[in-house]
Amino acid sequence: MNTLHVELGDRSYPIYIDAGLLSDSSLFAKHIRSKRVCIVSNDLVAPLYLEALKNQLSDFDVDEVVLADGEAQKNLANFELIMSHLLAGAHGRDTTLIALGGGVIGDITGFAAACYQRGIDFIQVPTTLLSQVDSSVGGKTAVNHPLGKNMIGAFYQPKAVMIDIDSLKTLPEREFNAGIAEVIKYGILGDGEFFTWLEDNTDAIKAGDPETLTQMIETCCQCKADIVAADEKEGSVRALLNLGHTFGHAIEAELGYGKWLHGEAVATGMVLAAKLAVTMNLLQASDLRRIEALIAAFSLPLESPSEMSFDAFMSHMSRDKKNIAGKLRFIVPTAIGQSEIRDDITEEMLQQIL
């Protein structure tokens, strides 16, 4: 078993990566401090893994909340549903929530944990590639609002992240590829050698080779753990993890959450950020072509939705969380393996690429 650590003082926690972790009862027990446990999952993941997880928690008093699947479910109504379940079940401050699912489940469960009785423990058990390499690590928790993605939330760290790579065997190809967008992001923003490794190992990744997937996930988690340890609440360097997300979140909010998967929107967002960097003479066109080629290799979109206007992009991006003093801020790559935050982007520059 590979074990990484997110170093945040008294909020530090381990990330476990291995096959078969959902069958390791001792691993769960050491991160649960009382007998009360509530598992939050969705109606696609629960039939696959809920009973297996409950079997490992036979010494605990366990109940569950099962939501419908999809990004559209990450909303205040389902947040309230979780709150009502916990209150009706007389759950106390010593209850542990377990998020069993992808990024939507992890985000809404973490936000519920942050808010219930002003904070209870939670454990991330991510079952999608996107959540394993990105959203389960770092303590960003939130729900969406029709006017903006992840606008209602909190920074709240889990007690542990347990990544069972066997869960990827049941992941649909489209969802797997969407997760790869976040993997590619790490290569573009800060690790050029990893980007090259992804180019060289594309076939093994697509074939689901366990050793290759484990190495890939571990590299992403280590990168994110290092960044979060340096900047937990996104005051500086952590903002680089939003490469492609300003454009991507605008696409998701405009089309309606779920029409494009988050990773698909981020993939297009990274291409747009790279094109922006080329127009600013910050990035070589040859690097843009490499970025496009790797994204295309996993059947991810390179172009923004044809039905989305420039004004729609600007409307959503004006509400982006990274903006300061009314200025739009974008993460742009300056080379494969390097990126920076810029607040000198004009509407004219954006019109060129949109």
**Residue 16 in 3-state DSSP?**
strand
Tens digit of each residue's pLDDT (9 = 90 or more) over 21-61: 998 888 999 999 999 999 999 999 999 999 999 999 999 99
DSSP 327: B
Q: How far is CA 199 from the centre of its chain?
A: 22
- C-beta separation of 30 from 247 below 8 A: no
Active-site pick, 175, 182, 232, 252 = 182
Using one digit for the tens of pLDDT, what is the confidence trace for 143-168?
Answer: 999 988 999 999 999 999 999 999 99
Element (H, E) at 222: helix 210-230
CATH assignment of 2-170, given 3.40.50.1970, 3.40.50.2300, 3.40.50.740, 3.30.70.3270?
Answer: 3.40.50.1970
Task: Classify strands 61-67 and 121-126 as parallel, antiparallel or unpaired.
Answer: unpaired
Q: What angle do CA 275, 268, 144 make, to 5 degrees?
A: 125
- Among residues 51, 118, 281, 303, which one is catalytic? 118
Catalytic residue among 249, 275, 321, 329: 249
Which position among 242, 252, 275, 316 bears the catalytic label? 242
- Residue 190 to residues 73, 206, 223, 335, 339, Cα–Cα distance (Å): 32, 23, 9, 9, 7
pLDDT tens for residues 86-126? 999 999 999 999 999 999 999 999 999 999 999 999 999 99
Instruction: Check for a shared fold between 2-170 and 174-353.
Output: no
pLDDT of residue 114: 98
Q: Is 140 a catalytic residue?
A: yes
For residue 326, pLDDT beyond 80: no
**Per-domain residue ranges of the chain:** 2-170, 174-353
- From CA 122, how far away is CA 109, in angstroms rounded? 8
The residue-averaged pLDDT of 170-197 equals: 97
Backbone angles phi, psi at 67, to 5 degrees: -95, 165
Return d(Cα 12, Cα 225) in angstroms, integer: 10
Task: Mark whether 259 is an active-site residue.
Answer: no
Average pLDDT (162-178) is 97
CB neighbours (10 Å) of residue 235? 9
Alpha carbon of 228 to those of 18, 97, 290: distances in Å? 22, 22, 28
3-class state of residue 149 by DSSP: strand
Residue 9 predicted with pLDDT over 80 = yes
In Å, the largest CA–CA distance within the chain is 61
- Spot the catalytic one: 36, 224, 329, 342: 224
Active site residue 238: yes
| pLDDT confidence bin for 322, thresholds 50/70/90 | confident
User: In the annotation, is 252 catalytic?
Assistant: no
**Residues 233, 237, 242, 246, CA torsion sign:** positive
Q: Which CATH architecture has domain 174-353?
A: Up-down Bundle (1.20)
What are residue 16's DSSP bridge partners?
A: 3, 162
Is 249 one of the catalytic residues? Answer: yes
| Whether the Cβ atoms of residue 247 and residue 269 lie closer than 8 Å to each other | yes
Cα-based distances in Å from 91 to 31, 97, 107, 187, 261: 17, 10, 20, 42, 34
Which of 31, 36, 91, 238 is flagged as catalytic?
238
